[in-house]
């Protein structure tokens, strides 16, 4: 769970036949305010404006769209947009996890953009971050932050909610 200034609720998932996959939700929230099925737990990974534990990276405010990307070593990267409405203060950040689910790094993958709302993971393993402003762009980002983000003008200049 990545915390910002609001609390997120978890809802029950149902299969096509209506049977609950994970069992009923608890009747009382856990320590993080979430209702979870028996056997599940939650943890706070990052809080907007605070340093991500175990790293020196300060997590961005106003978290929005995000996606996970599997890594060859069994770990994964979670990329998350920052929906800051101040010109040039948005972007996207990432949390890198090892195969045991521990956060081992946190870093920026996109900066200098504005009001980055949702986006989408591509089939080839990049993150598309969408600016939700007039004449906004879609930016293609390397989830590991090794390559600079690139604008994708063919996707238009408009208020991109998501792709």
Dihedral sign (CA 12, 18, 23, 25): positive
For residue 115, the tally of other CB atoms under 10 A from its CB is 22
Q: How confident is the model at residue 21 (pLDDT cuts 50, 70, 90)?
A: confident
Quick one: average pLDDT of 55-60?
Answer: 98
Q: ∠ CA 136-8-30 to the nearest 5 degrees?
A: 160
DSSP state of 25: B
Q: What is the structure's pLDDT at 2? A: 54
> Tens of pLDDT along 83-110?
999 999 999 999 999 999 999 999 999 9
Between 14 and 158, the more confident residue is 158
């Amino acid at each position: 769970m990545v915390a910002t200034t609001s609390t997120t609720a978890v809802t029950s998932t149902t299969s096509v036949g209506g049977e609950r996959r994970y069992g009923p939700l608890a009747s009382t929230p856990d320590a993080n305010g979430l209702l979870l099925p028996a056997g599940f737990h939650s943890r706070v990974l990052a809080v907007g404006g605070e340093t991500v534990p175990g790293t020196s990276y300060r997590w961005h405010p106003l978290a929005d769209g995000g996606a996970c990307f599997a890594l060859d070593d069994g770990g994964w990267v979670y990329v998350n947009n920052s929906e800051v409405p101040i010109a040039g203060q948005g972007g996207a950040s990432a949390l890198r996890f090892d195969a045991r689910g521990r956060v081992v790094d946190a870093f920026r993958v996109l900066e200098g953009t504005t009001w980055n709302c949702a986006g989408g993971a591509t089939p080839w393993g990049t993150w598309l971050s969408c600016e939700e402003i007039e004449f906004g762009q879609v930016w293609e980002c390397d989830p590991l932050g090794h390559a600079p983000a690139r604008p994708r003008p063919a996707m238009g200049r408009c208020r991109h909610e998501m792709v």
